[in-house]
Amino acid sequence: MSIGEWTERELLDRMEAGGGREAVLFYTAMCGTCKVAERMLEIVQATGVPVGIHKLNINYAPVLRERWRVTSVPCLVLLEDGEPVVMEYAMGSVDHLYRILLQ
């Protein structure tokens, strides 16, 4: 199971619609730590967590990068009703990410 990728426009539209909980992994293509974080989130996703998990290349997300002041990648942002409620930079373990998504 892989994590779907959004464009910044798709995420902005989704945020305007509001409702629900979503998680977005900001990454860059050449980041090894980002690839590990993505794999851990795929494992979390396979458990059936009730949170949609997507990824977004930070190089193509200047509006959200500035608005949310994303300082490095990987960065997992948990959204609730279109607003960021958690920004996690330390992707410690699958268990850690699972707990973040179930907060």
* Residues 54/6, Cβ–Cβ less than 8 Å: yes
The range of the structural domain enclosing residue 61 comes to 4-101
Domain total of the chain = 1
- The pLDDT tens digits for 19-30 are 789 999 999 999
Question: Which CATH number characterizes residue 16's domain?
Answer: 3.40.30.10
pLDDT at position 1 is: 66
- The pLDDT tens digits for 5-64 are 999 999 999 888 877 899 999 999 999 999 999 999 999 999 999 999 999 999 999 999
Instruction: Name every residue whose Cβ is closer than 8 Å to that of residue 77 and which is 6 or more positions away in sequence.
Output: 23, 24, 25, 26, 68, 70, 84, 86, 87, 88
DSSP label at 95? H
pLDDT at position 48 is: 93
- Average pLDDT on 74-79 reads 97
Alpha-carbon gap, residue 102 to 88, rounded angstroms: 14
Give the Cα-Cα-Cα angle 54, 49, 15 (nearest 5 degrees).
Answer: 40
pLDDT at position 90 is: 92
* Residues 74/26, Cβ–Cβ less than 8 Å: yes
- Average pLDDT on 63-77 reads 96
